[in-house]
């Protein structure tokens, strides 16, 4: 599981998963309902993707999105977060 802390890491993760499935940017875009340019921009960290676009791409790539607290926040009670 890759921990994504930035859009640059997200883009690299999407690129790596796409390549491992043998898909071109165009093929991924068609399957996810986005343009090839959108896929390219995400992979190169040119523009931040919307959550909807990320979820579409992850679905095609057979990946899932998991949200978890930052490690430094794990030991604090909810009212202590700030």
**Complete domains list, the chain, with CATH:** 7-71 (1.10.260.40)
Long-range (24+ apart) CB contacts under 8 A made by 22-27 are 23/60
pLDDT at 79: 67
pLDDT at 30: 98
pLDDT at 67: 80
Left if phi > 0, otherwise alpha if psi is -120 to 50, otherwise beta: which for 61? alpha
pLDDT at 16: 96
* Alpha-carbon distance values, 40 to 17, 45, 60, 78 (Å): 14, 8, 16, 38
- The stretches in the chain having pLDDT less than 50 are none
pTM for this entry: 0.80
Q: Please, what is the Cα angle at 11 between 5 and 16, to 5 degrees?
A: 110
pLDDT at 66: 84
């Amino acid at each position: 599981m890759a921990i994504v802390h930035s859009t640059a890491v997200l883009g690299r993760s999407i690129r790596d998963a796409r390549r491992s499935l043998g898909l071109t940017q165009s093929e991924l875009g068609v399957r996810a309902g986005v343009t090839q340019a959108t896929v390219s921009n995400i992979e190169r960290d040119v523009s931040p993707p919307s959550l909807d676009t990320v979820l579409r791409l992850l679905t095609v790539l057979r990946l899932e999105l998991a949200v978890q607290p930052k490690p430094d926040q794990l030991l604090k009670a909810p009212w202590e977060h700030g």
